[in-house]
């Protein structure tokens, strides 16, 4: 009995023990809703909240450039995200930061691409170091929006320039309105055909972001292919002189403005250097000469055109601006002055010459009269003028005042470019350098012929003076503004900055406004 009682007692204990363990089993009521109590709200991704943050970021910006506005429109239309998804961000964002950080080697501040903002956001994402204010949704929105904006800025900037030269220069010099009711207009100072990004390019740029290889190719294709650009970049990263670094960075930006060039023979004028150079790529020949150009108040526009013809002994139809500002206030009615200058006044409507004493200062300012200076010695255009299509009434021409070419600073004209040796340029641009044709030019400007054929032509009393030459094909002309450029040996040449353009460009590519001054 005692043994049987002990066995029963242990069986009862076992049954009681099993019952108690079943009642207190901790997972008996466990379901998926239980995990809600374990979630950290800082790690919850909500696509609608991300989109709301992107809208907040873009609306807080004050963008005006085409590229920034295109990005803004992309997200306004709720287009697919390029860099983030519900799993975070991948290695493409690291590639972006690499390119952005290296922008300083291209003369551009990394700050232009939100480098610091993106670095902090990516560090938060990788370290899961979110806060109530800097939560995961804001972090993803920051990475998405500013990656796209920085990417678009970088690629289009390297491909087309970070500064739009047309907008910059053509809103620089205001033209005083005739009355207070007229809208302020600006002089056109940039008339060079320059490539700009368009919708098709931007669509291609966005499409390339989806794949790492395409992204790399997009960046690689954006850099200028010019050898001059590469030489400037090398010098930028070799010099420590602050002024030279800034000057090189500004001119690297100028080389990003893709301007189509053509023709084996062409004329290049560099305004800051006060020099003209003409090249013939077929023969390797080159000539150069000094020039005078527009003053600071009458800047010569930057443009590309084609020299179509040469005129010998031209007459000068004085521009209305010179009539109104210089002739009318000081010389109206002065017949002796008009005679000394060999100028006449012609009524535009009738075409008849009018005596100077009959035309008042106010009448000259109306624009109803032409003032014309006769051809020949003393004409303000000299004896030769090279014509090319443009909207500014400016040309390359001779001058009766050759002493100006001895001056180091030659920004003196009303906009036209005066040539030190116009005859040399005329001969260089000839397709066939026939000695007789060259002598006909010389004879026309009262220079002795140099060939036997020329002397025979001059001895003929019935010979006709050459009046013009047409260039077929026409000769490309580029009027440019480089304050630093590599010479034929690869050495960087630094020039003056007569129109103070460098500081304008520098302030825009860096966001800085300190004066651009030479180092002591």
pLDDT in tens, 288-299: 999 999 999 999
Of the given ranges (17-26, 400-409, 490-499), which has the lowest mean pLDDT? 17-26
Q: Report the percentage of the chain scoring pLDDT > 70.
A: 89
Q: How many CB atoms lie within 10 A of CB 10?
A: 9
Interior/surface letters 135-150, b for 16+ CB within 10 angstroms, e for the rest: bbbbbbbbbbbbbbbb
Query: What is the rounded average pLDDT for all residues in the chain?
Result: 88
Start-to-end CA distance of the chain, whole Å, equals 117
Q: What is the C-alpha separation between 122 and 101, in angstroms, rounded? A: 14
pLDDT level of residue 229 (50, 70, 90 thresholds)? very high
Average pLDDT (18-44) is: 48
- Ranked by mean pLDDT, the top range of 134-138, 175-179, 183-187, 246-250 is 246-250
Average pLDDT (182-209) is: 92
Q: Which residue has the higher pLDDT, 37 or 181?
A: 181
pLDDT level of residue 133 (50, 70, 90 thresholds)? confident
Place of tokens 């035309």: 359
414, 322 contact by CB (below 8 A):
yes
Phi then psi for residue 418, to 5 deg, are -90, 140
224, 231 contact by CB (below 8 A):
no
Q: How many CB atoms lie within 10 A of CB 259?
A: 15
pLDDT level of residue 46 (50, 70, 90 thresholds)? confident
Given a cut of 80, whether residue 357 has pLDDT beyond it is yes
Q: What is residue 103's predicted lDDT score, i.e. its pLDDT?
A: 93
Q: What is the pTM of this model?
A: 0.84
Q: Which residues on adjacent β-strands are paired with residue 353?
A: 346
Which candidate, 327, 317, 430, places its Cα nearest to that of 381?
A: 317
């Amino acid at each position: 009995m005692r043994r049987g009682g002990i066995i029963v007692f242990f069986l009862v204990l076992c049954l009681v023990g099993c019952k108690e363990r079943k009642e207190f089993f901790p997972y008996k009521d466990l379901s998926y809703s239980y995990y809600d109590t374990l979630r950290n709200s800082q790690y919850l991704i909500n696509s609608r909240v991300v989109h709301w943050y992107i809208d907040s970021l873009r609306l807080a910006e004050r963008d005006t450039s085409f590229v920034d506005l295109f990005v803004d429109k992309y997200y306004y239309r709720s287009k697919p995200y390029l860099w983030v998804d519900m799993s975070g961000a991948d290695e493409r964002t690291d590639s972006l930061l690499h390119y952005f950080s290296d922008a300083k080697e291209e003369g551009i501040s990394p700050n232009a691409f939100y480098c610091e903002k993106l670095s902090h956001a990516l560090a938060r994402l990788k370290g899961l170091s979110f806060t109530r204010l800097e939560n995961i949704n804001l972090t993803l929105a920051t990475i998405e929006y500013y990656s796209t904006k920085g990417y678009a800025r970088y690629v289009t900037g390297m491909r087309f320039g970070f500064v739009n030269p047309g907008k910059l220069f053509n809103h620089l010099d205001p033209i005083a309105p005739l009355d207070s009711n007229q809208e302020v207009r600006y002089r056109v100072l940039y008339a060079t055909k320059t490539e700009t990004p368009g919708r098709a390019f931007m669509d291609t740029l966005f499409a390339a972001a989806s794949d790492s290889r395409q992204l790399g190719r997009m960046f690689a294709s954006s850099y200028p292919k010019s050898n001059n650009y590469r030489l400037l970049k090398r010098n930028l990263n070799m010099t420590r002189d602050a002024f030279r670094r800034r000057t090189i960075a500004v001119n690297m930006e100028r080389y990003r403005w893709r301007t189509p060039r053509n023709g084996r023979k062409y004329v290049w004028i560099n305004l800051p250097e006060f020099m003209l150079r003409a090249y013939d790529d077929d023969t390797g020949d080159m000539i150069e000469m000094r020039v005078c150009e527009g003053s600071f108040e009458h800047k010569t526009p930057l443009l590309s055109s084609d020299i179509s013809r040469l005129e010998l002994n031209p007459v000068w139809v004085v521009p209305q601006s010179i009539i109104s500002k210089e002739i009318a206030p000081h010389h109206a009615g002065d017949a002796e002055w008009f005679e000394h200058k060999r100028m006449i006044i012609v009524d535009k409507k009738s075409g008849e010459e009018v005596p100077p004493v009959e035309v008042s200062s106010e009448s000259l300012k109306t624009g109803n009269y032409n003032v014309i200076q006769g051809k020949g010695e003393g004409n303000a255009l000299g004896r030769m003028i090279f014509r090319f299509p443009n909207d500014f009434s400016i040309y390359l021409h001779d001058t009766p005042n050759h002493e100006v070419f001895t001056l180091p600073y030659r920004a003196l004209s009303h906009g036209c470019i005066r040539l030190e040796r116009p005859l040399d340029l005329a001969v260089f641009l000839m397709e066939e350098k026939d000695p007789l044709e060259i002598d006909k030019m010389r004879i026309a400007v009262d220079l002795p012929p140099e060939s036997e054929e020329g002397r025979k032509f001059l001895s003929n009393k019935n010979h006709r003076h050459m009046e013009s030459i047409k260039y077929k094909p026409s000769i490309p002309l580029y009027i440019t503004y480089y304050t630093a450029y590599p010479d034929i040996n690869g050495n960087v040449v630094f020039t003056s900055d007569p129109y103070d353009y460098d500081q304008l460009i520098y302030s825009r590519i860096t966001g800085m406004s300190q004066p651009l001054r030479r180092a002591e």
